[in-house]
Structure 1
Amino acid sequence: MSVGTIHGVGLGPGDPDLMTVRAHRLLREARYVAYFRKAGRTGQARKIIKGLLRDDVVEYPMEYPVTTEIALTDPEYNRRLSGFYADCAAHLLKLAQSGKDVVVVSEGDPFFYGSFMHIYERVRDQVPVQVVPAVTGMSAAWSATGEPITWGDDILTVLMATLSEAELSKRMKSTDALVVMKIGRNIGKVCAALKAAGKFDDAWLVEYASMPEQTVQKLSAAQGRAVPYFSIIIVHGQGRRP
């Protein structure tokens, strides 16, 4: 029996029109489709592919056992997620080893802070795996501001808002252009770090980049309110140009 392939397919930032031709083709043809989601939710990836799947598709929703209920530093967080990814990988391996191709969809790009990476590491040496890259959420965010993110020799730094305020501030000070992701409840810490780095007044907040709910505003205008998970902070570089 021939072995199937696991396809890690990036869907892009949210707008189905920004999906690659290859991703679209694989989804149209897929008999088995897997996607991540929070328990009890449809999941953003599943929303993006609505209407693309064949009538006889077999879906495999992979529901996170924990998201924000436990601190990232708690050993229980990693223990639960490790078991979850192992179970998901085992299921996908079983399908592929029985000769079935499986499409695992990811928001954004599969190799850019995506959950698919944890599956990839567990299956890559056992069955064929193909990764389909995609437009990242940060690309959509800086495009939404209407300004280039980097000029000339600008250095671009991508930071996770889950870092400590001191670490955020240190790295913000040493870069020209900046992207901050995974903001959510960390918005206060990020704002404080930007102020310490002297970059707060230049920062933009983009929510739901490329999605119908998209908003774009200076970060200073959003102070004092909560921001959604799909939020990205942008500071544009101002480097060399002809």
Structure 2
Amino acid sequence: MGKVICAGLGPGDPELMSVRSDRVIRAARHIAYFRKKGRTGQARTIVGGMLRDDVIEYAMEYPVTTELHFGSEEYRNLMVDFYAEWADRLAELALEHDVVVLCEGDPFFYGSFMHLHTRLQGRAEVDVLPAIPGMVGCWNALDMPFSWGDDVLTVLMGTLPEAVLTEHMRRADALVVMKTGRNLPAVRRALDATGRLEDAWLVEKGTMPDQRIARLSQVDDADCPYFAIVLVHGQGRRPEASP
């Protein structure tokens, strides 16, 4: 009897993957990964060149991404059916084989695998391999300390209503905004309303070969990359520098 192993891939650079995830992925005979229809998928791209020649791949293609609003009933129903179907398929495969599911960042930090994890309980043995979250790779790409002393780190989703974003940003110290994409204009307006836009950075595909770093105030509203994180550094308590 096999099991389902979710391997966290880290922020994007394969060299930042854990030793255990690297070993498990290279040995895997069965690999599954999420992707948008018609795309290779970010997770599959990260492990390019690592897989066995005889690997069997299972591309878990989202039925919808940005075509419908994530809060709509139609979107929810499609995604519920999608996760239920793949939980069934993985549980069946795990009756005979180990199946490795790839997940960017850390699987339990807003990762899609969480929806499968809950559905697999009691149906298959599940092992989750932790990893460096994507935001950590992004703030290290800026080469500046991100939080100081007693700073409170706030992590927000760009999908939140603009008023909610603004409310949280007003009381945040160090600030991370994930799931930007087409939500970037609203994120920018919320930062501007709280006086933090000039301190905000946009990091796209952090730690990857095509990484891009820019001041958010200098990014056009129409430029809304999906794999991007907005960062605002904390300015908390720190020891005074020697004269």
Global fold match (TM > 0.5): yes
Task: Determine which of 115, 127, 130 is the counterpart of 2:124.
Answer: 127
Q: Provide the TM-score with structure 2 as the length reference.
A: 0.96
Q: CA deviation at 1:223?
A: 3.6
2:234, 2:91 → 1: CA distance? 44
1:45, 1:226 → 2: CA distance? 23
CA deviation vs aligned residue, 1:173-219 (integer Å, no higher than 9, x gap): 11100000111111111111001112111111111111111111211
Partner secondary structure for residue 144 of structure 2: coil
Long gaps (5+) in structure 2? none
Q: Provide the TM-score with structure 1 as the length reference.
A: 0.96
Q: Indicate the RMSD between aligned Cα atoms, in angstroms.
A: 1.0
Task: Determine which of 111, 135, 139 is the counterpart of 1:138.
Answer: 135
Describe how 1:69-108 pairs up with structure 2 within 5 A: 69-97=67-95, 99-108=96-105
Counting aligned pairs with the same residue, the percent is 56
1:15, 1:124 → 2: CA distance? 31
Q: CA deviation at 1:6?
A: 0.6
Q: CA deviation at 1:56?
A: 1.3
Does structure 1 conserve the Cα–Cα contact (< 8 Å) formed by 2:154 and 2:172?
A: yes
Aligned partner letter, 1:141: C
Residue in structure 2 matched with residue 51 of structure 1 by the alignment: 49
Partner secondary structure for residue 35 of structure 1: strand
Aligned partner letter, 1:183: T
Residue 155 (structure 1) aligned with residue 152 (structure 2): yes
Aligned partner letter, 2:67: E
Residue in structure 1 matched with residue 8 of structure 2 by the alignment: 10
Residue in structure 2 matched with residue 183 of structure 1 by the alignment: 180
Residue in structure 1 matched with residue 112 of structure 2 by the alignment: 115
CA deviation vs aligned residue, 1:4-62 (integer Å, no higher than 9, x gap): 11101111111111111000000111111100001111111111111111111111110
Q: Runs of 4+ in structure 1 displaced over 2 angstroms?
A: none
Residue in structure 2 matched with residue 233 of structure 1 by the alignment: 230
Does structure 1 conserve the Cα–Cα contact (< 8 Å) formed by 2:184 and 2:221?
A: no
Residue in structure 2 matched with residue 26 of structure 1 by the alignment: 24
Residue in structure 2 matched with residue 36 of structure 1 by the alignment: 34
